[in-house]
Every structure is written in structure tokens, then in C-alpha cells.
């Protein structure tokens, strides 16, 4: 079997898998149903189109695709250099991607600020340590939420570096360039995410 | 269709500098502000909307992503056609893409935020995003520690280089973009018709 035929099978097989999922699953308990909580402030189509146009601008003006996960690797590199400079500089990943105040670093810092502006001007400030739907399922322990979110973060960043990007870098910037790696990765993001979320919220 | 391939627009790489050129930093700040603003308005920095997507209850995330891909694809390929932008393709490594993708997904289910939306969550005062972000830094460090070994093992499995769907499917890029736009719009109409949100 030649590789192009194999590639085609991988792509079509993956797309076929997606259609096996049921489209809407209402939870029996309304507190565990996302519809019981408020929806977005703006239409998702308006926001999506805005992000699409933003990607033209970042490609044109910055020569960079939108991406978020490398920010965390840069922060890890900064912290590493603070405590073990030589060891950090000798790691293969940091040799290839030395931690610097680069475009994606400031981009994600500004993302935090941009969301703050949107929340403050649009009445969207949450100011909470536990999301409501988490509390409805797992109770009031901040320690439990912290441990699960931290562990999830470790898995997520490790996976992002291995796969080569995240929901932004692969999920939007890569797929829009019709990059095969991105379509495979984003499919796996959702297969993994749906499986774990269903297990967590299964009652 | 004339494809400039490696577009004439030259990337300026700053070697050995601690801080990127001012122009680039300023553009990163402006575009990052816009990105965070849009993510918050789209509700995708909110736990129940993200976890609601993974539970297949709330389709906001898929709607935002697919619309961004449709709009982004048409513009970026048009700009590339006229050699105004470079493409930024990542290599296809089946083993790493699949295993990394599944690990990422598992983490996504646990946190309920992803790397970009965690930043938006923090910005709107969903403080639990801080735990996830600390984990993201730790996980990045773990990867860096193992990067030498991973490069020689997992990342060599099914290595196919820089590969795009037009290459694999042997369809001209312009035609495939048109098909993809129609298919994605079709999927969005389907979702809009058959789901509550």
C-alpha cells in the first residue's frame, strides 16, 4: 500500500469516527447540563469570523500563526534558566526553541488582558475559584479542583508539545492551512477530551 | 493557480536575542488583546461552555473554531496566492500527532480550558485557570526534559514531513478550499438545526 493511499485512509477513517458521536446529549440533572448556565455574550459566528480575520492579520503583519501553547514552554524555560541555567540550555527542546520574550509570549500575556477588558466592559467578570458546573458535580473543594486542573495541565502541555500545537495552533491556524498534522491532532484532541469529560460527568 | 510556494515575503529571524524586535512585540500585544477580547465575548473562556462542548451539550466551541477556519482559510490562502504571507506548516508525525493529541484531549477534559482559553478564563476572573496554567508550565518542562529521547522515538513514528490535504488527496488547493468551505458551512448548518446551543 503506498503512503498517499494510507494517508487518505487515515483522514477518511478519522472523519468517519466523528460521525459516530451523538450530537446532543442532555443531562438528566439540570445542574450537570451546560444549557442551564448562561451562553456567550456574542454570536459564536461573529467571534469565529473575528478570529479568522485576526489570523489574516497575524500572518500578514507578524508572519506568525495564532498559537498559545508555546507560551507555557517559554515560561518553563525562563523558570528553568533561573534555577538551573546550564541544564536548561542543554535540553534538546530549549536548544531548538530558546526561551525569549518572543511574539507568542507577549501574544498570550495580551490575551489575558484582552479577556479582562472584554469581561470588565461587558459585565462578564466571574471572580470565582470554582466553576458552577464543576461545583454541581464535584463539590466545594478548591484543592480537588486545583489538583485535577494541575494534572490536566501537565497532560495537556506534554501532549501539545508532542503533537506540535494546541487548540489554537493546530485547531485553528493549522487546520485553516489544510495541514494534515493539524487535522489529525485536532481530531485526537476531541476524541481524548470527549472521552474524559464523559467519564468525569457520567453519573 | 500560481502558487508561489515559498512566498517571497522573507521571515526575519532574530538569532540569539532575548527580546524580539519592537515592531513584532507591539503587533503581538495588539493581536493578543484582540484575541483575548474575542475569546471572552465568545464565551470560550468559560468552563461550562468548554466542558459542555466535550459533553456534546453545547456546540459554541465548534462553531467558533469552524467559522474561524472558514474565514481564515479563504483569506490566508488568497494572501499566500499573491505572495503576501508565508505559510507556517508543522510536520506530520502520525505517532506524535495521535499520542500527543489524545494526551492533550485527556488534559482538556480534566481542566476544561485549553492553553489559549485558560488565558481568557484568567482574564475574566475564573481563578481556577491558574492551577491549569501552572500545570501547563510543568507539563512543558516535563516534555523539555524528555525531548531528546522523544525526538529519537515517538517523533520518528510515521514521520511524513510537511504535508497538506491537497498533497494527500491530489486535489488542487483552490478547489479543495472551495470544497472545505462548503462542507464546513454544511456542518455548521446541521449543528445549528439539530442542537440547542
- Chain B residue closest in CA terms to A25: B57
Chain A nearest-CA distance from B183, in A, is: 12
Residue B20 has what pLDDT?
83
At A91-108, the pLDDT tens digits run: 999 999 999 999 999 999
The full DSSP string for B73-96 is: HHHHHHHHHTTSS---PPPEEHHH
Spell out which residues of chain A touch residue B46, defining contact as CB-CB under 8 Å. 40, 126, 131
Distance between CA A177 and CA A101 in Å, rounded?
26
Distance between CA B159 and CA B97 in Å, rounded?
10
Q: How many CB atoms lie within 10 A of CB B175?
A: 12
Asked if A150 lies within 8 A of B134 by C-beta distance, the reply is yes
Task: Please list the pLDDT of chain B residue by residue as tens digits (197 residues).
Answer: 344 554 455 555 555 677 888 999 999 999 999 999 999 999 999 999 999 999 999 999 999 999 999 999 999 999 999 999 999 999 999 999 999 999 999 999 999 999 999 999 999 999 999 999 999 999 999 999 999 999 999 999 999 999 999 999 999 999 999 999 999 999 999 999 999 99
pLDDT at A150 over 70: yes
Residue B106 and residue B41 in contact, taking contact as beta carbons nearer than 8 Å: no
B184's grid cell: 464546513
- Chain B residue closest in CA terms to A180: B164
Distance between CA A107 and CA A114 in Å, rounded?
10
Residue B59 and residue A143 in contact, taking contact as beta carbons nearer than 8 Å: no
Asked if B57 lies within 8 A of A35 by C-beta distance, the reply is yes
B102's grid cell: 489524545
Residue B79 and residue B4 in contact, taking contact as beta carbons nearer than 8 Å: no
Give the helix ranges, DSSP H, for A19-131: 44-57, 69-83, 85-90, 92-96, 103-122
Distance between CA A151 and CA A159 in Å, rounded?
12
At A45-91, the pLDDT tens digits run: 999 999 999 999 999 999 999 999 999 999 999 999 999 999 999 99
B99's grid cell: 499520542
Amino acid at each position: 500500500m503506498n503512503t498517499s493511499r494510507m494517508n487518505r485512509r487515515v483522514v477518511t477513517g478519522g472523519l468517519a469516527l466523528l460521525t459516530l458521536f451523538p450530537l446532543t446529549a442532555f443531562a438528566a440533572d439540570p445542574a450537570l447540563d451546560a444549557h442551564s448556565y448562561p451562553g456567550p455574550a456574542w454570536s459564536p459566528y461573529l467571534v469565529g469570523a473575528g478570529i479568522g480575520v485576526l489570523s489574516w492579520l497575524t500572518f500578514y503583519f507578524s508572519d506568525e500563526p495564532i498559537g498559545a501553547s508555546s507560551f507555557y514552554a517559554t515560561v518553563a524555560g525562563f523558570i528553568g534558566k533561573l534555577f538551573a541555567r546550564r541544564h536548561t540550555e542543554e535540553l534538546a527542546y530549549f536548544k531548538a526553541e530558546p526561551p525569549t520574550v518572543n511574539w507568542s509570549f507577549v501574544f498570550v500575556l495580551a490575551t489575558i488582558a484582552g479577556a479582562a477588558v472584554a469581561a470588565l466592559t461587558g459585565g462578564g467578570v466571574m471572580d470565582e475559584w470554582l466553576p458552577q458546573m464543576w461545583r454541581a458535580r464535584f463539590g466545594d473543594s478548591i484543592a480537588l479542583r486545583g489538583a485535577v486542573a494541575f494534572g490536566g495541565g501537565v497532560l495537556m502541555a506534554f501532549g501539545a508539545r508532542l503533537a506540535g500545537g494546541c487548540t489554537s495552533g493546530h485547531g485553528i491556524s493549522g487546520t485553516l492551512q489544510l495541514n494534515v498534522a493539524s487535522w489529525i491532532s485536532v481530531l485526537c484532541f476531541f476524541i481524548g477530551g470527549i472521552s474524559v469529560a464523559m467519564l468525569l460527568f457520567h453519573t | 493557480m500560481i502558487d508561489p510556494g515559498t512566498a517571497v515575503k522573507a521571515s526575519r529571524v532574530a538569532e540569539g536575542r532575548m527580546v524580539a524586535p519592537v515592531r513584532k512585540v507591539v503587533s503581538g500585544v495588539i493581536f493578543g488583546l484582540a484575541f483575548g477580547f474575542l475569546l471572552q465575548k465568545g464565551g470560550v473562556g468559560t468552563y461550562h461552555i468548554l466542558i459542555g462542548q466535550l459533553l456534546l451539550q453545547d456546540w459554541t466551541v465548534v462553531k467558533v473554531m469552524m467559522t474561524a477556519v472558514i474565514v481564515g482559510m479563504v483569506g490566508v490562502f488568497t494572501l499566500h496566492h499573491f505572495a503576501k504571507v508565508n505559510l507556517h506548516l508543522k510536520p506530520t508525525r502520525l505517532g506524535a500527532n495521535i499520542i500527543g493529541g489524545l494526551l492533550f484531549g485527556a488534559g482538556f477534559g480534566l481542566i476544561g480550558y485549553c492553553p489559549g482559553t485558560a488565558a481568557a478564563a484568567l482574564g475574566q476572573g475564573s481563578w481556577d485557570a491558574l492551577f491549569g496554567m501552572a500545570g501547563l508550565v510543568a507539563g512543558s518542562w516535563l516534555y523539555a526534559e524528555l525531548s531528546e529521547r522523544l525526538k529519537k522515538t515517538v517523533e520518528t513514528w510515521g514521520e511524513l514531513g510537511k504535508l497538506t490535504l491537497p498533497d494527500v488527496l491530489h486535489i488542487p488547493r483552490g478547489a479543495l478550499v472551495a470544497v472545505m468551505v462548503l462542507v464546513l458551512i454544511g456542518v455548521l448548518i446541521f449543528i445549528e438545526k439539530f442542537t440547542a446551543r
